[in-house]
Structure 1
Amino acid sequence: MKKLWFGLFALCLLNMSQAVAQEKVLVFAASSLTNALSELAESYEDASGDDIVLSFASSSTLARQLAQGAPADLYLSANTKWMDYAAEQQVINSESRKDLLHNRLVLVTHQSESVDSVALDSSWNISKALMGSRLAVGDPNHVPAGIYAQEALTSLGLWQQAEPLLARANNVRAALLLVERQEAKFGIVYQTDAQVAKNVKVVAHFPEQSHQPITYPVALTQQTPSKSAQGFYDYLQTSDAAEVFQRYGFSVNEPRGSVSF
């Protein structure tokens, strides 16, 4: 009986030591960050021993989940609007909020299409170009990429003819997938999405002045974050992380030093 008791006690101590050694950090992040952030999380896990759990969706969905009490540690939004909303709902640590990244908006089509470039101005006949298909975008009612797309199309005098031809997706990656599957002839996505997509090519870049700057803010959600959450937050702002973000097509605000593990 004593051997059994000591065995159970040792097992309990082992489980406790593992729990202490490996802390879990839950990160809510915009879908367009999937590839870059997944690579960074893996690198950070290898170096720190912490467990980084990533939850990707549209920025609006994640902000609303935070407002409803979802227990995330970090939030990365694809625009400032939904970070503002999270701040208004008092579900982020506003002092930790920083503008981390920037992106570009592009028009894409399937690699097999004969068109190689599109002139983005009021003379573009969208209906003729689509040939009965649709223009895939993140839903402009709540998805940041779709909000930027609406701003850009409006600025270029194209929104009125584009609106009834939209295929509205729940996030930017879903819009990209419609083009990859040839379920939509054209799509408006981020430059970073086009860069990692299969069988998709960029046929136009939207003028940066045609929409609000595409800014990705990051913030901790807790007023007193765990050591692991603080560590990953700090890591995302290092020069090492900046190299990864840039490789995936993001532009990065001034990075700082390294993180000690």
Structure 2
Amino acid sequence: MGDLRFARRLLAAAVTAAGLLAAATLPAAAAEKITVFAAASTTDALTEVGAAFAKETGVEMVPSFASSSTLAKQIEEGAPAQVFVSANAKWMDYLADKGLVVADSRADLLGNDLVLIAPADSAVATVAIGPGLDLAPLLDGGRLSVGDPDHVPVGQYAKAALEKLGLWAATEPQLARQNDVRSALALVERGEAPLGIVYSTDAAASNGVKTVGVFPKDSHSPITYPVALVTDSPAGRSFLAFLQSDAAKAIFARHGFTVN
């Protein structure tokens, strides 16, 4: 009988030890994350904001940067975004009309300007942008790099401005249409396009280009970045509040955005 009790105690100890060992080898619980789909033009600023949010809350921001149109279509198809930051109201409206964003969470977050850029070493200096401007001599046979006006917000703003100034018909055949604003910027950075139209914040973020002109604000609708929750959650609400905090506003302003 004594030997049996001893064997049972030994077995119990072995089971306990095995359990402790298994617990010790289990991975630590993954940190909470929030997936944010955001316009390509917010890449630098929002990455910094996300780092500040993680430091304050312990929640990691996992970003996906692309054209607002691309991101909106991905969300429509079921991509697991929790927050959407669009570079124009159109693509936010597109999702809102389909009931794919949380209505009471929407807010206008940022503003921007539309600028004409050239490679940093370009001979082009200052361009007075207005009616009657002839871009052909400045392009010198090259193309004007811009987000595709068919769906990319910066390209849509650019088209509106060129139409308002009476320059669209002459300029449209010379466009180098890109998938997002950062691709339009990169083409000019590499010297593959002599001029481009981007947001002022993108131009400021690059050492490879210079701003040679600013489009009049009344030549296009205000450049507004709305934000909204795609799925409602405490982490999402917290991130939304942080985006509108003084700390985040200071980061956005430092990157050249206007803040609301």
Q: Distance in 1 between matches of 2:235 and 2:21?
A: 31
Q: How does 1:166-185 map to 2 (within 5 A)?
A: 166-185=175-194
Q: Distance in 1 between matches of 2:147 and 2:124?
A: 23
Q: Distance in 1 between matches of 2:23 and 2:125?
A: 68
Helix, strand or coil at the partner of 1:142 = coil
Q: TM-score, normalised by structure 1?
A: 0.91
Aligned residue type for 1:102? G
Q: Which residue in the other structure is 1:154 paired with? A: 163
Give the one of 112, 123, 130 matched to 2:139.
130
Give the one of 65, 73, 88 matched to 1:56.
65
Q: Which residue in the other structure is 1:71 paired with? A: 80
Q: Per-residue CA shift, 1:174-232, capped at 9, x if unaligned?
A: 0000000000000000000001012211111000000010000000112xx22222111
The gaps in structure 1 that reach 5 residues or longer are 254-261
Q: Per-residue CA shift, 1:35-69, capped at 9, x if unaligned?
A: 00000111111221112100000000000111111
Helix, strand or coil at the partner of 2:146 = strand
Q: Which residue in the other structure is 2:6 paired with? A: none
Q: Which residue in the other structure is 2:115 paired with? A: 106
Q: Distance in 1 between matches of 2:246 and 2:47?
A: 17
Q: Distance in 1 between matches of 2:35 and 2:56?
A: 17
Q: TM-score, normalised by structure 2?
A: 0.92
Aligned residue type for 2:22? L
Helix, strand or coil at the partner of 1:234 = helix
Q: Which residue in the other structure is 1:233 paired with? A: 240
Q: Per-residue CA shift, 1:3-53, capped at 9, x if unaligned?
A: 2222213444x63xx33xx21100000000000000011111122111210
| Number of aligned residues | 246
Q: Which residue in the other structure is 1:258 paired with? A: none
Percent identity for Structure 1 against Structure 2: 48
> Which protein has the larger Cα radius of gyration, Structure 1 or Structure 2?
2
Q: Distance in 2 between matches of 1:87 and 1:140?
A: 22
The gaps in structure 2 that reach 5 residues or longer are 1-13
Helix, strand or coil at the partner of 2:23 = helix
Residue 243 of structure 1 pairs with residue 250 of structure 2: yes
Give the one of 211, 222, 238 matched to 1:202.
211
In the alignment, is the contact (CA less than 8 A) between 2:45 and 2:252 conserved in 1?
yes
Task: Quote the RMSD (CA, aligned, Å).
Answer: 1.1
Q: Which residue in the other structure is 1:7 paired with? A: 21
Q: Distance in 2 between matches of 1:54 and 1:191?
A: 22
Q: Distance in 1 between matches of 2:52 and 2:23?
A: 34
